[in-house]
Amino acid sequence: MTISEIIDVLEAEMVSGGSLEKVVHRACACDLLSEVLRCMCKDSILLTNLTHIQTVHVANMVDAIAICYMRSKKPEDNTVKLAREKGIILLSTKLTTYEASGRLYKIGLPGCAGR
């Protein structure tokens, strides 16, 4: 699924860009970053309520393509700057984590469980 498709499905806006045609293979919905490190897959998107800079550091460590912040949350400027440097796309949606996860699952984007 492309970033463009994810933006449409989640009614999201792009906070920090990259190619809309990048392909995301899996999703991980989590607010505990140690668990993200343990479970997240390469070429995936992180759905989270956390907006601090560590989300980008962790996403970079697991080779994630994007982070989507829930409930219309937006990261601070230093987080956006680091995401640009690392090539990680940042999105924001008004949806809750539950709703966003359900929408992505419904259209066939698998989670990272059992990777």
Residue 62 to residue 41: CA distance in whole angstroms: 7
Give pTM, 2 decimals: 0.96
| pLDDT tens-digit series, residues 41-94 | 999 999 999 999 999 999 999 999 999 999 999 999 999 999 999 999 999 999
Closest CA to 88 of 62, 54, 64: 64
What domains lie within the chain, and their CATH numbers? 3-106 (3.40.1390.20)
**Contact criterion met (CB below 8 Å) for 69 and 75:** yes
The interaxial angle of helices 54-61 and 77-86, nearest 10 deg, is 20
| pLDDT tens-digit series, residues 31-53 | 999 999 998 999 999 999 999 99
